Amino acid sequence: MVDPKGEIYNLLTEVDDVTVLQGRPEVIASFPTITFSIEDNTPRYELDKKIGFQDIAVIVDFWADNPVQTASLLETAEGLFRNEGYRLTFSADIPDPEGKARITTRFNLIK
């Protein structure tokens, strides 16, 4: 079974000038920041009981000072994920009471 956390972290660190964190800290100390967590990592077994493939879903949140920055981060990350076999399956703006910008997304592995 493959644990995708390291691969996802390395992929997101390819985005320039951003902090990447697994999970969300209580307080985000710097902007822009990308946080991620593995929502699903379920193996699918073949008849011989070996793992044929894994259902992997990753939640990625983009945090920045304004919506233009979050949109740019998402655009860059979507291309990186797509090149690795992931597809963007959900995306939504989340209002922030402190005036920051946030986009939450879900990427699913399609292989």
- Tens of pLDDT, residue by residue over 53-87, are 788 999 999 999 999 999 999 999 999 999 999 99
The maximal CA–CA distance of the chain, rounded, in angstroms, is 53
| 3-class secondary structure, 49 | coil
**Which residues sit opposite 91 in a β-bridge?**
105
4-8, 22-26, 70-74, 78-82: least confident range: 22-26
How far is it, in rounded angstroms, from Cα 59 to Cα 42?
15
Q: What percent of the chain has pLDDT over 90?
A: 69
Single out the residue of 104, 1, 17 nearest to residue 62, CA to CA: 104
pTM of the entire predicted model: 0.89
Amino acid at 100: K
What are the chain's domains?
Answer: 5-109 (3.30.2000.10)
> What is the band of 98 on the pLDDT scale with cuts at 50, 70, 90?
confident
